[in-house]
Amino acid sequence: MKPDFEKQKLIPAIIQDYKTIEVLMLAYVNEESYNYMLEKRETCFFSRSRQKIWHKGETSGNSQIIKKMYLDCDKDTLLIYVEQIGVACHTGNYSCFFNEVVKYDNDIEINNILQGIYNMIDDRNKNPKENSYTNYLLEQGIDKICKKVGEEASETIIAAKNDNKNDLIGEICDLIYHILVLMYNRNVSIKDIKLKLSERHKVEGNKKSQNKRGDY
């Protein structure tokens, strides 16, 4: 199954992060770039401004490894799920879609934020940056990471006892960040945690229906 390039020389391709489903960019594909993607499993597009093929990341290093690719019902639009190496946008933003026009009432879901931080940790590991605190923790290893988790947990407790909401929020954020570094170091994903929480929720839901307590 492939697009009918005789009918339409260029078709749009929507690129999404395969982990977070965040839309990263939109580009155009011709038959040559389409065949390249099938062979190499990396994104390749046709630049309308330069009128030539461009392999994403060939100069910037910000390549996209294809995880899944779909055609729409009319077979004239591609949806491509990728593992983004670095950032997708030439401006340095992770996604090309960062100019907010209509604000979402509830802002970004917490799951997307957590996954975004986790992805950043993964990117720092694969593409180290000078003076990066994340790289420092990853280089120091599990003992240092566990020590920091313990310190942040203690500081969270102190902030809670001091009854200062702003301090408590800050300490909780610090704790969550260090837990995410710990998770990455031990190869535990956001999905792993979501599945375990879901399992526990189901178990507790059954308990609730049986004994009307439902203690977590």
Let me know if residue 89 belongs to a domain. Answer: no
Give the separation between CA 42 and CA 75, rounded to whole angstroms. Answer: 20
From 35, 66, 84, the end of a domain falls on 84
CA 41 to CA 21: how far, in whole Å? 18
DSSP tag of 137: H
Q: What are the backbone angles phi and psi of residue 87, rounded to the nearest 5°?
A: -120, 160
Residues 60 and 118 in one domain: no
Tell me how far the alpha carbon of residue 216 is from its chain's centroid. 29
Dihedral (CA of 155, 158, 160, 166) sign: negative
Query: Are 61 and 20 members of one domain?
Result: yes
Q: Is 67 found in the same domain as 123?
A: no
- The answer to the question of residue 116 being in a domain is yes
Sign for the CA dihedral angle at 179, 181, 185, 190 comes to: positive
Q: Which residues contact 33 (CB under 8 A, 6 or more apart)?
A: 44, 45, 46, 53
Instruction: Give domain status of residue 130, yes or no.
Output: yes
Rounded distance between C-alpha atoms, residue 64 and residue 86, angstroms: 9
Q: Look at residue 206 and tell me if it is in a domain.
A: no
Are residue 177 and residue 129 in the same domain, yes or no?
Answer: yes
What CATH code is carried by the domain that includes residue 51?
3.10.20.810
Same domain membership, residue 115 and residue 176: yes
* Residue at 3 is within a domain: no
Neighbour-count burial for 196-214, b at 16+ CB within 10 Å, e otherwise: eeeeeeeeeeeeeeeeeee
What is the domain count for the chain?
Answer: 2
The pLDDT assigned to 200 comes to 82
Residue that finishes a domain, picked among 84, 101, 119: 84
| pTM higher than the cut 0.75 | no
Judge whether 163 lies within some domain: yes
Q: CATH no. for residue 116?
A: 1.10.287.1080
Domain residues for the domain of 172 are: 110-185
Single residue among 84, 101, 129 that ends a domain in this structure: 84
* Residue-level pLDDT at 20: 82
Same domain, yes or no, for 114 and 180? yes
Residues 6+ apart with CB under 8 A from 159: 167, 168, 170, 171
Confirm if 58 and 86 have CB atoms less than 8 A apart: no
197, part of any domain: no
List per-residue pLDDT tens for the chain, 216 residues long. Answer: 889 898 899 999 999 999 888 899 999 999 999 999 999 999 999 999 999 999 999 889 999 999 999 999 999 999 999 999 999 999 988 899 989 887 665 555 677 789 889 999 999 999 999 999 999 999 999 999 999 999 999 999 999 999 889 999 999 999 999 999 999 999 999 989 988 988 886 655 555 444 444 455
Q: Are 129 and 178 found together in one domain?
A: yes
Helix pair 133-140, 142-161: axis angle to 10 deg:
120
Residue 150 maps to a domain: yes
Q: Is residue 33 domain-shared with residue 80, that is, in the same domain?
A: yes
d(CA 45, CA 31) in angstroms, rounded, equals 10
